[in-house]
Amino acid sequence: MLADMHESSTSPTPSGPGGVPTTSRFTQFAVRRRALRWLVPAGAVGVVALLGSGVLSADANTNLTPQTAAQLLASVADTKVTGFSGTVVEKAALGLPELPNLGGSGSSSNLLGMLTGSHTVRVWYGGETKQRLALVDALGEQDVFRNGRDLWQWDSQTRTATHSVLPSDTAKPPPAHTPALTPAEAAAEALALIDPTTAISTDHTDSVAGRSTYTLVLTPKDTRSRVGSVRISLDGKTRVPLRVVVTARGSDHAAIDVSFTQVRFAVPDDDNFTFKPPAGAKAPQETKVPSHPGPGSGNAKAVAAGYTTIGTGWTTVVKVTGVPSLTALAKDSGQAGQLLGALPSVSGSWGSGRLFTSSLMSALITDDGRAYVGAVDPELLYQAAAK
């Protein structure tokens, strides 16, 4: 472009070789030529706008042979991938308020933080015993390295490296309890819900992370579910889910959008999975994870201690007991107390409590320390609470 401009301006005066024009025509010509120059920046703006808004990159022609929903589902079931690596961007717009740092670590990548905003996760997968996850912050990172039975967790903010040794009989559980971080996990969760309550269809092929994808659309039949649809983009070649979009009922916007922005289907190098605590890092005592309790760190276990599910499929309600009672929380002058205080209070035959609703989720916290959460209408939560 620079060369272009240079050329057109080395002879800025219209001194045409074919004779000298009269003064008036000369001036007119010069004025018109100068005005034409503004076409160059206009063109630059146009090109940038086109490229920037992705009009040119959205290539709908993906050259995939059409597949029925059943064919796709079957091929997903026997997906075998030996390894991959990539970057996943998770966007959540659940209608939750921007939560202040309840986790207290100052980073947005704790579990509560994952429920709002946009997050980037880098994933390396080299088989069932070799994984690495990196939650990427502006100037920080939290990593989980798993290599065989060694599990390292790293937090760049506090420069803490935590080592734990997994029991030898756990080959399969994921390294840490993270809510559906990869599209594969998210899709697995969605596919587990498929039963007579779900309508399955396909949509036009698409492109995710530069790869052609099939689109599978799951629609709950039960209208009490707040989930409008779940769209899963499957890689055309490997059938690995590359993108999952959850839309709330009656909404056009994605409530949850988990998508690879870059992916490579090859077993990553081994040095991606090895971790050696750097000099100067804090290293809390080594922990041995006992054999049987489910995956998860101590914190997650404490929360998960008393949780049960009520109902099945899309209308599943999760009941959590042992939540600090509302009266105790109300006395808490901290942010949690203030947040709860702002929620509308509800009551019924089941008791009374506070209700939180968003386009996709409802949550009920009763005064006596129970909590009900589900992607359902509040009425279902009341029914569950009455049981």
Residue 188 backbone dihedrals phi, psi, to 5 degrees = -60, -40
Mapping DSSP to helix (H, G, I), strand (E, B) and coil, where does residue 216 land? strand
CB-wise, 154 or 314, nearer to other proteins? Answer: 154
CB-wise, 2 or 77, nearer to other proteins? Answer: 2
Shortest distance, position 139 Cβ to other proteins, whole Å: 4
The residue ranges that bind other proteins (CB under 8 A) are: 1-2, 5-6, 9-13, 15, 27, 30, 34-35, 37-38, 40-41, 43-45, 47-48, 51-52, 87, 98, 106, 120, 122, 134, 136, 138-141, 143, 152, 154, 156-159, 161, 261-262, 272, 275-281
CB-wise, 47 or 70, nearer to other proteins? Answer: 47
| Distance separating alpha carbons of residues 299 and 139, to the nearest angstrom | 25
Question: The tokens of 206 are what?
Answer: 């698409």
**Cβ-based neighbour number of residue 184 at 10 Å:** 22
The alpha carbon dihedral of 99, 101, 107, 113 has a sign of negative
| Distance separating alpha carbons of residues 142 and 109, to the nearest angstrom | 8
Shortest distance, position 87 Cβ to other proteins, whole Å: 6
DSSP, residue by residue, 167-214: -TT-SSS-SS--SS-SHHHHHHHHHHT-STTEEEEEEEEEEETTEEEE
DSSP character for 28? H
Shortest distance, position 142 Cβ to other proteins, whole Å: 9
Shortest distance, position 287 Cβ to other proteins, whole Å: 18
CB-wise, 106 or 306, nearer to other proteins? Answer: 106
CB-wise, 40 or 69, nearer to other proteins? Answer: 40
Shortest distance, position 254 Cβ to other proteins, whole Å: 14
CB-wise, 9 or 287, nearer to other proteins? Answer: 9
**Cβ-based neighbour number of residue 305 at 10 Å:** 10
Instruction: Write down the residue that tokens 């966007």 correspond to.
Output: 91
| Distance separating alpha carbons of residues 83 and 137, to the nearest angstrom | 25
Cβ partners under 8 Å of residue 8, min gap 6: 37
Shortest distance, position 218 Cβ to other proteins, whole Å: 28
Contact yes or no for 386/353 (Cβ under 8 A): no
CB-wise, 87 or 197, nearer to other proteins? Answer: 87
Shortest distance, position 132 Cβ to other proteins, whole Å: 9
